[in-house]
Structure 1
Amino acid sequence: MRTLIGTSGWQYRHWRDAFYPPDVPQGQWLEHYAARFGTVESNATFYRLPAKETFEQWRARTPDGFVFAVKASRYLTHVRRLRDPAEPVRRMLDAFAGLGDKLGPVLLQFPPRMPADPSRLDLVLGMFPADVRVAVEPRDASWWTDDVREVLTSHGAALCWADRGGTEATPLWRTADWGYLRFHEGDGHPWPRYTEGRLKDWADRVADTWPGSAPVYAYFNNDQSGAAVLDAETFTRLTDRH
């Protein structure tokens, strides 16, 4: 497997001192981050879709080979709930094009109580070009059906493996020849850190599921107190052993 590990976002003011040195201005935080990690998941795109020029700037400020995963706009997933997806998908892709070859997966995260609709999911996934990877993170148990799994597999879309509170929050389906993981909150100390044992279990599971050179993207969303940075570094060390 080829793991790309980072955090869900980089613009956290409470990471000052915990990750960003006091003498590094906020306008250079992306450069500092990209010197330590090879990928990041942009959560900000969920709340407000930046202009294409912003993505172009992000691309220019990061080294060759750096990868941006981008979270799809809440307008598509939470407001429209996947209905009439053509315009929001087109608008997102037009903006994301500013990343060029640094565009990684697009994450579709659904509302916690949004019931399953395989036909609507099939329509949305069909609107993404074949060269754009899409990960899907449902959060309602009604999505865990054979019909949903078949839709994901038919489009080569990855089911996002999610961990909340040190427990799997999703089935561990392999629906694509690549993987996507999100770590929301660990059960270690201090909160919300993950224990090394828990992260080792995930590293072993990933290696068993995606052997060889299959890319696997993993992002830590437990940003409080800089826990995400520390856990991402630990997970990198553990996956490097495989």
Structure 2
Amino acid sequence: MPRPLIGVSGWSYDSWRGDFYPEGLARTKQLTYLASQLPAVEVNGTFYSLQRPTTFRRWAEQTPEDFVVSLKGSRYVTHLLRLVNVETALANFFASGVLELGARLGPIVWQLPATITWDADLIDRFLGLLPRTTVAAGRLAEQHDDRLPPERATTTPLVDVPIHHVLEVRHESFVVPEFEALLHRHDVAAVRNDAPKPWPVLDIASSSVAYARLHGHTRLYASRYSDAGLDGWAQWCERWLEAGRDVHVYFDNDSEGHAPHDAVRLLGRVRRD
């Protein structure tokens, strides 16, 4: 049955302590508490640096079996290499401990910088490199280089499950039918963005999952979502749920502590127990 997987982008924010998190809650218990309130989370840390297998293992141990952990793909792949000659970088990313999440592993979001414009060959080659199962990810992970010594690499999947990929683009040149067709061919979702920025708003059925990132409607990373705004997002969720897709929505309006409260409010509008 399709699930509304509504959560937040990250969970270690001081402004949430004594607000969303109960007063006195240990920092080591924050993820467990979050998982008691929401069914999913998106991890930002994997975008900035390679994590350790022990970190992924700890996240799995602190959450229920049906909890979902979506990951942001490495910015080394997207922003530094700009999707070119990325085979080893992808191997390092998947060897860093991603497979320790087992069945909790959610979609992987590849966020492109606004300076990357639509290039059919570039995007096609990149999407073709991405592993579509944890077993395939394990084979790719075996190609990691010495940036990951053996004790820091995980190449054996705990389970054989699909891996979904999501592309977040930030240049209007991607709003062309050819991009949509390419996503369809690779079964890759496009992020449905909401932000006070000139980023393209894509709402296309190109994958078996739907994915939205809510950065704050009026103030980037800051503004609270209104009841009317959340009603609209609930309708968006229902549309894709009825189409048979798992729906991922992650709130990134965290700078003033609104993200977890908005996520709980939206989940209450679409919850299916």
TM interval, shorter chain, is over 0.9
Are 2:167 and 1:136 aligned?
A: yes
Counterpart of 2:118 in structure 1 is 116
| Cα deviation, residue 60, structure 1 | 1.2
Q: In 1, Cα distance between the equivalents of 2:186 and 2:175?
A: 17
Q: In 2, Cα distance between the equivalents of 1:124 and 1:93?
A: 15
Q: In 2, Cα distance between the equivalents of 1:117 and 1:169?
A: 16
| Cα deviation, residue 168, structure 1 | 8.1
**Contact 1:4–1:217 under 8 Å retained in 2:** yes
Q: In 2, Cα distance between the equivalents of 1:199 and 1:168?
A: 20
User: Residue 108 of structure 1 aligns to which amino acid in structure 2?
Assistant: W
Aligned residues: 240
TM-score after normalising by structure 2? 0.82
Counterpart of 1:102 in structure 2 is 104
Q: In 2, Cα distance between the equivalents of 1:80 and 1:73?
A: 10
Q: In 2, Cα distance between the equivalents of 1:180 and 1:139?
A: 15
Q: In 2, Cα distance between the equivalents of 1:198 and 1:119?
A: 37
Counterpart of 1:58 in structure 2 is 59
TM-score after normalising by structure 1? 0.92
Residues 1:221 and 1:200: Cα distance change in structure 2 (over 3 Å)? same
**Contact 1:177–1:210 under 8 Å retained in 2:** no
Counterpart of 1:176 in structure 2 is 207
Q: In 2, Cα distance between the equivalents of 1:44 and 1:142?
A: 28
Counterpart of 1:195 in structure 2 is 226
SS in 1 for 2:215: strand
Residues 1:23 and 1:209: Cα distance change in structure 2 (over 3 Å)? closer
Counterpart of 2:271 in structure 1 is 240
**Contact 2:213–2:249 under 8 Å retained in 1:** yes
Name which of structure 1's ranges 69-78 and 109-118 shifts more when overlaid on structure 2: 109-118
User: Percent of counterpart pairs with the same letter?
Assistant: 31
**Contact 1:108–1:134 under 8 Å retained in 2:** yes
Counterpart of 1:7 in structure 2 is 8
User: Residue 139 of structure 1 aligns to which amino acid in structure 2?
Assistant: R
Q: What are the superposed Cα offsets for residues 26-82 of structure 1, whole Å, 9 maximum, x if unpaired?
A: 121111111111110001111112012211111111111111000011100111111
**Contact 1:18–1:225 under 8 Å retained in 2:** no
Residues 1:215 and 1:167: Cα distance change in structure 2 (over 3 Å)? farther
Q: In 2, Cα distance between the equivalents of 1:76 and 1:139?
A: 16
How is 1:148-227 mapped onto 2 (pairs within 5 angstroms)? 148-165=179-196, 169-187=200-218, 192-227=223-258
User: Residue 237 of structure 1 aligns to which amino acid in structure 2?
Assistant: G
**Contact 2:37–2:264 under 8 Å retained in 1:** no
Counterpart of 1:90 in structure 2 is 91
| Cα deviation, residue 185, structure 1 | 0.8
User: Residue 112 of structure 2 aligns to which amino acid in structure 1?
Assistant: F
Q: In 2, Cα distance between the equivalents of 1:210 and 1:27?
A: 33
| Cα deviation, residue 213, structure 1 | 3.8
Q: What are the superposed Cα offsets for residues 67-114 of structure 1, whole Å, 9 maximum, x if unpaired?
A: 100001110011111111211111112221111111000000111222
Counterpart of 2:21 in structure 1 is 20
Q: In 2, Cα distance between the equivalents of 1:163 and 1:73?
A: 22
**Contact 1:187–1:195 under 8 Å retained in 2:** no
